[in-house]
Chains A and B, each alone.
Chain A
Amino acid sequence: MIQKKICMVGVFATGKTSLVQRFIYSKFSEKYHSTVGVKIDRKEIEVAGTQVNLLLWDLAGQDKFHNVQGSYLRGSSGIFFVVDGTRRETLTELAGLRALVRESVGEVPAVIAINKADLEEQWQLGQGDFDSLFGEGRHVLKTSAKSGVGVEEAFLWLAGRMLKS
């Protein structure tokens, strides 16, 4: 079976772990646990008639104590960037994270999930911010790990692009 590694990348507390939990186990925890190092989960899915084993590397979020390590990104076929719509700084730091990914694995398919769509009334991002993120080989969409909105779509889009590339 085809195996593809996806890395979840973003600033701390953007909801990376929650998105993985929603996608794999269809559950959501209100309690926040910061990820230490990398947690690895897998999910087998079918993409256009092909069985794919997705290996989801949930990387600890970037914070003042540590930066995302490029060594964890090696071997990734796709990147799942996560931004917290309620915290503008998580978008500001995205540029640096994307540069790190390019440096580590080159241009690979990527999703940029603007997460916490269930709190959209508190968002600090507007349409202009969305427009600036679109580009070749990446998909930008709103997600909510809490409600499930956009989560399946995001992972399936990324899996599809990884298979094509």
Chain B
Amino acid sequence: MSVSDSRESAVSNEEHLAGIDIFGTTHPGKKRTANEDQFFIASLHKSMRVRQSSLEDLSAFARLHASFAYLLVVADGVGGIGGGRQASSTAVETLAEHIGETIGCYYNFDVDKEHEFLAQLEDAVQRSHDQVRHQYAADGRGPATTLTMVALMWPRAYVVHVGDSRAYYLRDGRLRQLTRDQTAYEELVDQGVMTEEEAGRAGLKNMLTSALGAQFTPAIGLIDLQAGDVLLLCTDGLTKHVPDSDITAILGGGGSAEEACRRLVDLTLERGASDNVTVIVGRFAAS
């Protein structure tokens, strides 16, 4: 099994970032030879770390190197012969680098700075888009990628989304999708041009209307999470095979974030895994 994964489990000293368990994993699936998906999990920290001191009590300084935010990203490259993988890789690298350089100053932001912060997130996604185009095809006909990002500053989760990867959250046993797929299927059904059946038969579920590197319309949203919530980011390799009811059962079934990720990927594999599959699960400890 070719699986790459990463763990970021932490019990933060920050007042509100308590008991977060986050895990991500990706798998090429059963039909694809290459994995064009990417994921990224990072915690952002305040910078001061005391190396030596004559002070008796240094506990007050602990919060200065605790996590003040988390960044979670999934991306699904499109464009064959390695292009999709390059596009998703470039997009996530550029995004993470920009956020790493700019978001640090927001660790203490108030409501007046919230739109500035959102603008920084949008700017990061815009830079990723520009970089993918610059690197692979300025005419927008090169490889492209979806990108779904959550910047978590407890309890607020800011979501920036392009394409058909998804973000969900589970609260009190109810799964809600935070993003809407940017596909021709969604658009034409919404406009009443086609019924769901017609659009499904026409294969429009896989036709993106927005992607980094191509035509590009980021959607922005947010939600305030609560203790006990579970967050899921995934590429469509999961949702092609695993319906919401199964996702709800797995996320609501207890266990660690890692166990939930493994179950989601295993179920996808059992059902054929026609595409690459990537999941990030974040569990927020019940109070």
Question: Closest approach, in angstroms, between the C-beta of A40 and any C-beta of chain B?
Answer: 5
Tell yes or no: A75 within 8 A of B by CB.
Answer: yes
User: Number of residues in B with C-beta < 8 Å to the partner?
Assistant: 22
Contact B115 A38 (CB under 8 A): no
Tell yes or no: A30 within 8 A of B by CB.
Answer: yes
CA distance A24 to B160 in the complex (A): 19
Contact B178 A75 (CB under 8 A): no
Tell yes or no: A130 within 8 A of B by CB.
Answer: no
Q: Contacting B221 at CB < 8 Å: which of A3, A40, A55, A75? A: A40
Contact bitstring A23-50, B, C-beta under 8 A = 1, else 0? 0000101110100111111000000000
Contact bitstring B166-191, A, C-beta under 8 A = 1, else 0? 00000000101110100000000111
Question: Closest approach, in angstroms, between the C-beta of A48 and any C-beta of chain B?
Answer: 23
A40: nearest chain-B partner, CB-CB: B220
Tell yes or no: A74 within 8 A of B by CB.
Answer: yes
Contact B220 A75 (CB under 8 A): no
Q: Contacting B115 at CB < 8 Å: which of A5, A31, A69? A: A5
Contact B219 A39 (CB under 8 A): yes
CA distance A39 to B160 in the complex (A): 10
Contact A38 B174 (CB under 8 A): no
Contacting residues, chain B, for A3 (C-beta < 8 A): 115
CA distance A38 to B157 in the complex (A): 10
B172: nearest chain-A partner, CB-CB: A65
Contact A37 B192 (CB under 8 A): no
Contact bitstring A41-78, B, C-beta under 8 A = 1, else 0? 10000000000000100000000010001011011000
Q: Contacting A38 at CB < 8 Å: which of B176, B189, B221? A: B221
Contacting residues, chain B, for A5 (C-beta < 8 A): 115
Contacting residues, chain A, for B220 (C-beta < 8 A): 39-41
Contacting residues, chain A, for B227 (C-beta < 8 A): none
Question: Top 9 closest A-B pairs, CB basis?
Answer: A37-B223, A75-B111, A29-B190, A40-B220, A74-B111, A36-B176, A39-B221, A30-B192, A38-B222
B residues within 8 Å of A by Cβ?
Answer: 111-112, 114-115, 118, 157, 159, 174, 176-178, 180, 189-192, 219-224
Enumerate 16 A-B pairs (CB-CB under 8 Å) in ascending A order.
A27-B191, A29-B190, A31-B189, A31-B190, A31-B192, A33-B180, A36-B221, A37-B178, A37-B221, A37-B223, A38-B222, A40-B220, A40-B222, A41-B220, A72-B224, A75-B112
A residues within 8 Å of B by Cβ?
Answer: 3, 5, 27, 29-31, 33, 36-41, 55, 65, 69, 71-72, 74-75
